[in-house]
Structure 1
Amino acid sequence: MTPAAPSPAAPSRLSLYLNLIRWDRPAGTYLLLWPTLAALWMAADGWPGWHLVVVFTLGTFLMRSAGCAVNDVADRDFDKHVKRTAQRPVTAGLVSVKEALVLGAALTLVAFALVLTTNPPTILLSFAALAVTILYPFTKRWISMPQAVLGVAFSFGIPMAFAAALGGREWSLQAIAAAVPMAAWGLLVANLFWVLAYDTEYAMVDRDDDIRIGIKTSALTLGRFDVIGVMAFYVIFLALWAALGLRLGMGHWFLAGLAVAAAQVVWHYALIKDRGRDGCFKAFRENHWVGFAVFIGTVADLALR
């Protein structure tokens, strides 16, 4: 008699938690990190120092991880109807809602401890950033383009970077206004359009499932104009980022980085124009290279003056 094959070992709690925070998929962290670091370099007019680099790099990773935990709790009843997300730990019942929320809260507290080493304007802005992060997962139920809210959440590191580099020791809205110029808020808006572009590509992957389960996305709102919409979002992002960067004193190397990013956007059009799932998902996954090009152009421009 042939012995039965041993059943696969149950995943450890650690592996489940790492899966919950997308440890093995760092591209999402890079999407937040590159524009934040680019803004930090602009605000500092060059190398911002190890302290701020570590704070914003680790803080970005921690808050993206916490956001994933909150998102999976909010979307658990939707995710079970989508093949790509049905095995996420909370949806599959491998991690409880309480566990996910406790993990998200713990990561947020560690990130807040990092923010406490900066200055009052940055600390005050962190509360607004947290509020938008928590709000985003629930907007899919009632906003036609929830990606716009995600865009604010993913871009809030930009004004925080300016506040950290330029802020003083006063606890007031006036202190925030003094530390964060209007151009920095403009960069937040510009980056929002980049988020709209790549998260619409992401939403195009799940279009059929999202129609069936009844959630709202930018891909569904744009309908047959989704590809045109994505490309328009990219163009607005690049144009605004270029104009605002020049206003902040950036030069030729900065524009060269944007040109490399624009070349990637042309490639993304080739990937998404037929609306195939694989092409749209690849375009989304490779978007962090767009941000990396912008960041490297910024660093090079400031270093080579």
Structure 2
Amino acid sequence: MTDPREMPEPARQVADAPKGNWVDRFAPAATVPYLRLSRADRPIGTWLLYIPCLWGVALAAMADSFRLWDLWVALSCGAGAFLMRGAGCTWNDITDRDFDGQVARTRSRPIPSGQVTVKQALVWMAVQALVAALILFSYNRLAILLGIASLVLVAIYPFAKRFTWWPQVFLGLAFNWGAVLAYAAHAGTVSLPALLLYASGISWTLYYDTIYAHQDKEDDALIGVKSTARLFGDRSRPALWGFLTLTLVLAAAAIVTLPVTGLWPPLVALAGVWAFGWHMVWQMRRLDVDDPASCLVVFRANRDAGLILALFLAVSAFL
């Protein structure tokens, strides 16, 4: 394994990682390639995996109020999101190693740049998944079964770009599974509001990951990788507006169909949907799909958008 600290300056940082991130600045040299495999230097993905979990537990708590147990669900889902996002990204890099070496943004990743071998990456993936399993087994039976089932989606996603123009759907199915799992961890069941919230999250992923995919559309066209960014092309903005609208409609439907006592909780939650939507509209106004830098900034802004909705749902549950 090549020590990244001994590599030439351009190879010492992954191309799309924020400059001055904590991994590059503070992590011990031996751990840097593995943390990069886990995308620890790019925490936005962990946030986007974690936020639907917060939505799920808060929506479930709206029906019968928060419990002390929900604090554990919220905190442990954060740790689980970090670990499973890391395991999923490691698996993605293993399967995409040949593609990554041909794309400017990804050729500096640990496997194509020679910092980590495939065997080392497999071991690292297994370690992360096993630690995440310890967290999962603290939940109720339904949540455990849902967590195990999610592994199928995680395994399939890296291959989706090879056989469909809609790989973002598979990402959405995997990334928003936490909404259903966290709902089940609180309620012990999965009802229509949880499924509507899950569908809203999938549409949200189609929105933000189509934006993200526009960074690589030229390289993807050269190597034959499919994406919704390539599928929609010049029609991407109307498609993004469609995903934005569908996200909000489904989120509102999840709230309206939830059996809640009192008027204020659903009103506050619906105000959160409005604020969530306002933030996405603001994103669309500054987005230039032909500017990779603009796409990356707007993509990352979805952390704040998702947290806005999570905050309003949490306040509604306390009400």
CA contact (8 A) 1:271 1:282 kept: no
Q: Does 1:40 align with 2:61?
A: no
Measure the CA separation in 1 of the matches of 2:99 and 2:272. 39
Query: What is the aligned partner in structure 1 of residue 316 from structure 2?
Result: 301
Q: CA deviation at 1:223?
A: 2.1
Tell me the secondary structure at the aligned position of residue 219 of structure 1. helix
Provide structure 1 residue ranges, at least 5 long, that are not aligned to the other structure: 1-6, 168-178
Measure the CA separation in 1 of the matches of 2:272 and 2:119. 44
Query: What is the aligned partner in structure 1 of residue 303 from structure 2?
Result: 288
TM-score (norm 2): 0.86
TM-superposition CA deviations, 1:102-121 (whole Å, max 9, x none): 11111111111111111111
Tell me the secondary structure at the aligned position of residue 6 of structure 2. coil
What letter is aligned with 1:299?
A
Match of 2:272 among 257, 260, 271: 257
Provide structure 2 residue ranges, at least 5 long, that are not aligned to the other structure: 13-28
Query: What is the aligned partner in structure 2 of residue 56 from structure 1?
Result: 77
Q: CA deviation at 1:81?
A: 1.4
What letter is aligned with 1:245?
I
Measure the CA separation in 2 of the matches of 1:219 and 1:19. 25
What letter is aligned with 1:108?
A
Q: CA deviation at 1:237?
A: 0.5
Match of 1:83 among 104, 128, 133: 104
% identical equivalent positions: 36
CA RMSD, 1 decimal: 1.7
Q: CA deviation at 1:221?
A: 1.1
Measure the CA separation in 2 of the matches of 1:262 and 1:295. 13
Query: What is the aligned partner in structure 2 of residue 173 from structure 1?
Result: none
What letter is aligned with 1:9?
E
Q: CA deviation at 1:252?
A: 2.2
**Aligned ranges for residues 174-213 of structure 1 at < 5 Å?**
179-213=189-223
Query: What is the aligned partner in structure 2 of residue 138 from structure 1?
Result: 159
Match of 1:24 among 14, 17, 41: 41
What letter is aligned with 2:77?
F
Query: What is the aligned partner in structure 2 of residue 276 from structure 1?
Result: 291
Measure the CA separation in 1 of the matches of 2:47 and 2:108. 24
Tell me the secondary structure at the aligned position of residue 103 of structure 2. coil
What letter is aligned with 2:84?
M
With 22-31 and 251-260 compared, the bigger mean Cα shift is at: 251-260
TM-superposition CA deviations, 1:142-173 (whole Å, max 9, x none): 01110000000001111111221122xxxxxx
Quickly say closer, same or farther: Cα 1:73–1:145, change in 2 above 3 A: same
Quickly say closer, same or farther: Cα 1:51–1:23, change in 2 above 3 A: same
TM-superposition CA deviations, 1:163-191 (whole Å, max 9, x none): 21122xxxxxxxxxxx1112211211111
Quickly say closer, same or farther: Cα 1:202–1:274, change in 2 above 3 A: closer
Q: CA deviation at 1:47?
A: 2.8
Q: CA deviation at 1:35?
A: 1.8
What letter is aligned with 2:48?
L
**Aligned ranges for residues 218-233 of structure 1 at < 5 Å?**
218-233=228-243
Measure the CA separation in 2 of the matches of 1:33 and 1:207. 27
Aligned pairs, how many? 287
